[in-house]
Amino acid sequence: MEKTTTDLSVRIAGMTLRNPVMTASGTFGYGGEFRELVDLKRLGAIIVKGLSLDPSHGNPPPRIVETPCGMLNAIGLENIGIKAFRATRLKFLQQLGTPIIVNIYGQREEDYVALAKIVDEESDISAIEVNISCPNVKAGGIAFGVDPTAAADLTRRIRAATSKPLILKLSPNVTDIAAIARAVEQEGADAVSLINTITGMAIDVETRRPKLANITGGLSGPAIRPVAVRMVWQVAGAVSIPVIGIGGIMNGRDALEFLIAGASAIQVGTANFVNPRATMDIIDVLQGFMQKQGISRVKDLIGSLRLDG
């Protein structure tokens, strides 16, 4: 039998990706760290560690705890800062020919705006992913991403500062994630990615102390996948911009769940710590699945969930 030729390409926010598999911010360093392990030219896109205006040391240790089917992290967004990133990391990334997406975060709207303006000058950066799961100091530390008005205001200001494709990365720590997705879509987001980590906590019963120095942390890994799939499905039904699915994707079949739920692409996070080649394996499995099922274009899988009897 002749093999189906497979087209894994997807279009997101004006970018054409060779396949829907991207790396999730904070789990793949600045990309170069994985050069010996992963064929970086095969990835759909590389999303780098969250960048702030100034370098950040993050939180004190312990910053990571293993949990059933996942992990809690309170790294605190440690990073080298946007200036050092441009000076020391971008050159390596740019010669790969793989779209580079920069993830940004700040504590004030102005921080995000300043970061967006800097990224806007860089022709080698394909898009900006905005982490809105960060405390807004002006709102008493409530995250931008938990309030539709705050998320909309932030999106409007960043939109005015850059012509790059904008991906708003949504927080799952909300009651109605579809409302937040609609709010950022209205203000010019080109795509949404979800989910970021779910806030959690673990306690050492002997010492009665929190296991993380920060007390709480972000839960990631397979434990959060059903929540993420549900949220992707809800958001995909609520907006017309593309949705990027994230959360506990460990293998190709997990990735397929997200595509079928309505994601146009996916990101691989915690899996990179377990199997640094997870992204490569996922691309292979997607291709194999399509060949076996006689599906020629991955686009035909997106949102193909069957709900009829």
Ligand X SMILES: Cc1cc2nc3c(=O)[nH]c(=O)nc-3n(C[C@H](O)[C@H](O)[C@H](O)COP(=O)(O)O)c2cc1C
Give the total of residues touching ligand X (CB under 6 A). Answer: 25
Please tell me the distance from the alpha carbon of residue 42 to that of residue 93, in angstroms, as a whole number. Answer: 13
Pick out residues in 156-215 that bind ligand X (CB under 6 A).
169, 196-197
Say whether residue 103 binds ligand X (CB under 6 A): yes
- Rounded to the nearest 5°, which phi and psi values hold at 64? -140, 135
Which H/E stretch holds residue 271?
Answer: helix 271-274
Q: Which of 30, 56, 24 is nearest to 218 (CA)?
A: 24
Q: Which stretch binds ligand X (CB under 6 A): 14-22, 92-100, 218-226, 295-303?
A: 218-226
Say whether residue 24 binds ligand X (CB under 6 A): yes
Say whether residue 27 binds ligand X (CB under 6 A): yes
Q: Which stretch binds ligand X (CB under 6 A): 235-243, 244-252, 255-263, 287-295?
A: 244-252
CB of 278 or CB of 302, closer to ligand X:
278
**From start to end of 158-297, where are the E strands?**
166-169, 191-194, 198-201, 203-204, 209-210, 216-220, 243-246, 265-268
Q: Which of 270, 269, 256, 266 is nearest to 301 (CA)?
A: 256
CB of 84 or CB of 295, closer to ligand X:
84
Say whether residue 75 binds ligand X (CB under 6 A): yes
Q: Which stretch binds ligand X (CB under 6 A): 38-46, 54-62, 263-271, 284-292?
A: 263-271
CB of 216 or CB of 308, closer to ligand X:
216
Please tell me the distance from the alpha carbon of residue 145 to that of residue 132, in angstroms, as a whole number. Answer: 5
CB of 29 or CB of 295, closer to ligand X:
29
Q: Which of 76, 52, 77 is nearest to 212 (CA)?
A: 76
Say whether residue 217 binds ligand X (CB under 6 A): no
CB of 210 or CB of 245, closer to ligand X:
245
Among 52, 131, 155, 171, binds ligand X (CB under 6 A): 131
Q: How far is the CB of 14 from ligand X (least distance, A)?
A: 21
Binding mask 137-156 for ligand X (x = CB under 6 A): --------------------
Q: How far is the CB of 3 from ligand X (least distance, A)?
A: 30
Please tell me the distance from the alpha carbon of residue 75 to that of residue 26, in angstroms, as a whole number. Answer: 9
176: left (phi > 0), else alpha (psi -120 to 50), else beta?
Answer: beta
Give the burial string for 104-140 (b: 16+ CB within 10 Å, else e).
Answer: bbbbbbebbbbbbebbeebeebbbbbbbbbbebeeee
Say whether residue 52 binds ligand X (CB under 6 A): no
DSSP 187: T
From the list 24, 128, 134, 194, the catalytic residue is: 134
Two tokens, residue 148: 């539709």
Known catalytic residue: 134? yes
CB of 210 or CB of 269, closer to ligand X:
269
Among 269, 286, 290, 298, binds ligand X (CB under 6 A): 269
Sites of contact with ligand X (CB under 6 A): 24-27, 49-50, 73, 75, 77, 103, 131, 169, 196-197, 220-221, 224, 246-249, 268-271
Query: Which sequence positions are flagged as catalytic?
Result: 134
